[in-house]
Amino acid sequence: MQTPKTSKERVYDILDSCTRSHDVREADFFQASYIADTLHISRSLASQYMNELVGEGLLVKVASRHRGRVRRLPRDGHVRERR
Q: Report how far residue 57's alpha carbon sits from residue 52's, in angstroms, rounded to the nearest whole number.
A: 9
pLDDT confidence tier of residue 44, bands split at 50, 70 and 90: very high
* 83 within some domain: no
Mean pLDDT of the 5-29 span: 82
CATH number of the domain within which 11 lies: 1.10.10.10
Q: Are 28 and 37 spatial neighbours (Cβ–Cβ below 8 Å)? A: no
Of 32-41, 43-52, 53-62, 65-74, the poorest mean pLDDT is in 65-74
* 39 within some domain: yes
Q: Report how far residue 80's alpha carbon sits from residue 5's, in angstroms, rounded to the nearest whole number.
A: 17
Q: Residue 73 in 3-state DSSP? A: strand
Count the domains in the chain: 1
* 1 within some domain: no
Q: For the chain, what percent of residues have pLDDT higher than 90?
A: 34
- One-letter amino acid for residue 68 of the chain: G
